[in-house]
């Protein structure tokens, strides 16, 4: 609401922009909100020497992405679609895609298109130990693109925590938990690339942690309101940010995308497109 008034100058949001953030947390503490729990399933590990077991160290640079899969439920023994969620560790720039099955043949073309949607150069690709990523075709794709391939370490549950948290706060929040047949993967991809990904990266603010050291030398992460910004704003705030952009991509081009509609207009457009998508799915199920 604050951005609608201060950034995009929409006068109808001038009063509501001053709403207390603490009150929003009070609302989120209610049982009705907390019932929307994230459903988790264990990843089936793949025993393989592909990929390097390591925690990514981006050193404040964009291009170190965390990747995970989200399954859209089973029904009558039929598998639903899978969502592929990729999040940059520093900027929280996020690209979501959908795939019919998580086998090698389906995954490769979707991963290629997903990587192309990031405006900056990808340096490192980090996943869990699922066989949909730990295979020779994915390794070959990343090697061709000169992207380092790392995977989560044993007994280090936080290695992929960023993208796993986005699975709940973004993918589940947008797509829900109900079964969606695999044949709709392409239509879902169109919704993601045309509406959702732009909204997430140019219009949805995120908290960014700040490390604080107390008098005893103990460090902790704090999330200050003044550090909240969109992933695109975070990208622009990085020193010499233009040096990380892909060839042919400039901030002039990206600024045009960011400012052509306001945050709420982008959200309304995205929600309308999602409703149209669900109408198509329900009509044919």
**Of residues 129 and 84, more confidently modeled:** 84
Mean pLDDT of the chain: 88
Quote the tokens at residue 76. Answer: 């009558």
pLDDT recorded at residue 259: 96
Rounded to whole angstroms, the Cα distance separating 65 from 162 reads 10
Asked whether 101 and 79 are in contact (CB, 8 A), the reply is: yes
CA-to-CA separations, 131 to 8, 60, 108, 140, 177, in angstroms, rounded: 45, 30, 13, 15, 23
**Residue 228, SS3?**
coil
The CATH code that applies to domain 44-284 is 3.30.420.10
Does residue 224 carry a pLDDT above 60?
yes
Residue 73 CB neighbours (<10 A): 14
Q: pLDDT by residue (tens digit) across 22-58?
A: 877 787 788 877 776 444 555 555 556 787 888 878 8
Asked whether 51 and 139 are in contact (CB, 8 A), the reply is: yes
Q: Which one-letter DSSP state was computed for residue 153?
A: P
CB burial readout 23-59, b (16+ within 10 A) else e: eeeeeeeeeeeeeeeeeeeebeebeeebbeeeebeee
Rounded to whole angstroms, the Cα distance separating 258 from 256 reads 6
Residue 261 CB neighbours (<10 A): 17
Backbone dihedral region of 228: left (phi > 0), alpha (psi from -120 to 50 degrees) or beta? beta
Rounded to whole angstroms, the Cα distance separating 227 from 210 reads 8
* Average pLDDT for 114-133: 92
Asked whether 81 and 180 are in contact (CB, 8 A), the reply is: yes
- At how many degrees (to 10) do helices 104-116 and 136-144 cross? 30
pTM: predicted TM-score of the whole model, two decimal places: 0.82
Q: pLDDT by residue (tens digit) across 158-214?
A: 778 889 999 999 999 999 999 999 999 999 999 999 999 999 999 999 999 888 888
* Average pLDDT for 78-87: 93
The β-bridge partners of 113 are none
Measured at the alpha carbon of residue 38, what is the angle toward residues 33 and 40, in degrees to the nearest 5?
Answer: 165
pLDDT recorded at residue 38: 45
């Amino acid at each position: 609401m604050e951005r609608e008034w201060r950034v995009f100058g929409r006068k109808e949001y001038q009063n509501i922009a001053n709403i207390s953030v603490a009150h929003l947390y009070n609302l989120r503490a209610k049982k009705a909100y907390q019932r929307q729990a994230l459903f988790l399933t264990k990843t089936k590990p793949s025993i393989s020497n592909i990929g390097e077991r390591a925690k990514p160290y981006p050193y404040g640079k964009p291009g170190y992405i965390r990747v995970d899969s989200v399954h859209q439920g089973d029904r009558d023994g039929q598998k639903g679609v899978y969502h592929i969620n990729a999040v940059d560790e520093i900027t929280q720039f996020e690209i979501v895609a959908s795939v019919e099955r998580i086998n090698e043949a389906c995954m490769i073309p979707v991963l290629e298109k997903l990587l192309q949607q990031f405006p900056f150069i990808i340096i490192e690709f980090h996943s869990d130990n699922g066989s949909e990523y730990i295979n020779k075709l994915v390794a070959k794709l990343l090697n061709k693109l000169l992207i380092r391939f790392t995977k989560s370490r044993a007994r280090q549950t936080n290695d992929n925590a960023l993208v796993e948290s986005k699975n709940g706060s973004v993918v589940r929040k947008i797509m829900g938990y109900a079964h969606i047949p695999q044949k709709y993967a392409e239509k879902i991809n169109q919704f993601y690339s045309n509406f959702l990904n732009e909204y997430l990266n140019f219009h949805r603010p995120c908290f960014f942690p700040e490390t604080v050291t107390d008098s005893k030398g103990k460090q902790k992460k704090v999330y200050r309101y003044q550090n909240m910004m969109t992933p695109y704003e975070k990208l622009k705030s990085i020193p010499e940010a233009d040096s990380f952009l892909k060839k042919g991509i400039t901030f002039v081009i990206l600024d045009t995308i960011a400012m052509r509609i306001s945050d709420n207009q982008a959200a309304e457009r995205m929600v309308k497109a999602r409703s149209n998508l669900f109408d198509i799915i329900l009509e044919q199920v």
